[in-house]
């Protein structure tokens, strides 16, 4: 096997599925030490005793110098913290993003893909100073079917992220991967943009197609996303859509 270029690896992740997948993909790999961390407020992960790896809390902004001195490669697998510019300039940082860059960089990409009709998918890219912006190592699209909601698309995106990791991990660790700049700047969505989508304006006029897309983009399992305000009580009324394709 070709020698690894990187052998002090840190995974920063707030996503249980990806931590498990990364751990399985690297099981038995020799010549590399891998540590796992998550955001300090992620008590679900920090208190999860069933995890196959030890996870420590990290504040990337406050601790970037120490991280830079201890690791030569850092993976962000859905880390909720933005990496500071000093860190990404000092250490090779790689992000696994649940969107097809450069479309819908940032928060919950598939939600916006369903609404604005741009490609959904997964991307592995080098991290630069901007959000989900660096040179692309690998990316692939997932198709969005008209009967699908956010969770249907998201589940396939996550599987695709693991597939891309599987295909590219050794080249990344060996430092032999190729990368290309995104064709355009694309667009960025923040948490606030998602929150704005959730508040339904009952007086807004739109086509039936756009209304269904809006609601299926906000239908994601247990999450109470879309809502309107009941005029009599002032309470929120949560809305989900159920779609079923004829068999």
Positions marked active-site? 97
**Alpha-carbon gap, residue 88 to 213, rounded angstroms:** 37
Report which DSSP code applies to 227: E
φ, ψ of residue 151 to 5 degrees: the values are -65, -35
Check if the beta carbon of residue 97 is closer than 8 Å to that of residue 75: no
Per rule CB under 6 A, is residue 78 in the interface with ligand 0FX?
Answer: yes
Find the binding residues for ligand 0FX in span 15-54 (CB under 6 A): 15
Per rule CB under 6 A, is residue 98 in the interface with ligand 0FX?
Answer: yes
Check if the beta carbon of residue 103 is closer than 8 Å to that of residue 186: yes
Half-sphere exposure of 211 (CA within 13 A, CB side): 10
Per rule CB under 6 A, is residue 123 in the interface with ligand 0FX?
Answer: no
- CB closer to ligand 0FX, 4 vs 144: 144
Per rule CB under 6 A, is residue 75 in the interface with ligand 0FX?
Answer: no
Tokens describing residue 104: 């819908």
120 burial class (0-12, 13-18, 19+ CB within 10 angstroms)?
buried
φ, ψ of residue 157 to 5 degrees: the values are -60, -45
Per rule CB under 6 A, is residue 80 in the interface with ligand 0FX?
Answer: yes
Which stretch, 54-62, 135-143, 219-227, 233-241, contacts ligand 0FX (CB under 6 A)?
A: 219-227
- Residue with tokens 């997932």, as numbered in its chain: 142
Which stretch, 57-65, 73-81, 85-93, 199-207, contacts ligand 0FX (CB under 6 A)?
A: 73-81
- List helix spans (H) across the chain: 16-25, 43-46, 60-70, 85-90, 109-116, 150-174, 191-198, 208-217
Find the binding residues for ligand 0FX in span 153-192 (CB under 6 A): 154
Q: Which of 223, 229, 237, 238 binds ligand 0FX (CB under 6 A)?
A: 223
Per rule CB under 6 A, is residue 108 in the interface with ligand 0FX?
Answer: yes
- CB closer to ligand 0FX, 213 vs 225: 225
Least distance (Å) between residue 160 CB and ligand 0FX? 13
Site residues for ligand 0FX per CB under 6 A: 14-15, 78-80, 97-98, 106-109, 150, 154, 220, 223, 225
């Amino acid at each position: 096997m070709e020698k690894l270029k990187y052998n002090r690896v840190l995974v920063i992740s707030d996503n249980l599925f990806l931590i498990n997948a990364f751990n399985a993909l690297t099981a038995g790999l020799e010549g590399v030490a891998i540590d796992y961390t998550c955001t300090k407020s992620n008590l679900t992960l920090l208190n999860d005793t069933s995890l196959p790896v030890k996870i420590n809390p990290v504040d990337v902004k406050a601790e970037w110098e120490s991280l830079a001195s201890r690791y030569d490669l850092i993976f962000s697998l859905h880390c909720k913290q933005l990496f500071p510019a000093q860190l990404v300039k000092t250490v090779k940082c790689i992000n696994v993003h649940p969107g097809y860059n450069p479309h819908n960089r940032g928060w919950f990409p598939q939600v916006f893909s369903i609404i604005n009709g741009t490609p959904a998918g997964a991307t592995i890219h080098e991290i630069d100073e901007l959000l989900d912006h660096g040179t692309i190592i690998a990316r692939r699209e997932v198709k969005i079917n008209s009967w699908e909601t956010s969770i249907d698309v998201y589940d396939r995106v996550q599987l695709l992220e693991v597939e891309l990791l599987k295909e590219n991990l050794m080249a990344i660790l060996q430092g032999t991967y190729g990368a290309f700049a995104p064709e355009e700047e694309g667009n960025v969505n923040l948490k606030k943009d998602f929150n704005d989508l959730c508040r339904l304006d009952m007086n807004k006029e739109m086509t039936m197609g756009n209304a269904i897309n809006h609601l299926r983009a906000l239908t994601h399992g247990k999450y109470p996303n879309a809502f309107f305000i009941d005029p009599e009580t002032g309470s929120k009324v949560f809305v989900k859509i159920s779609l079923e394709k004829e068999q």
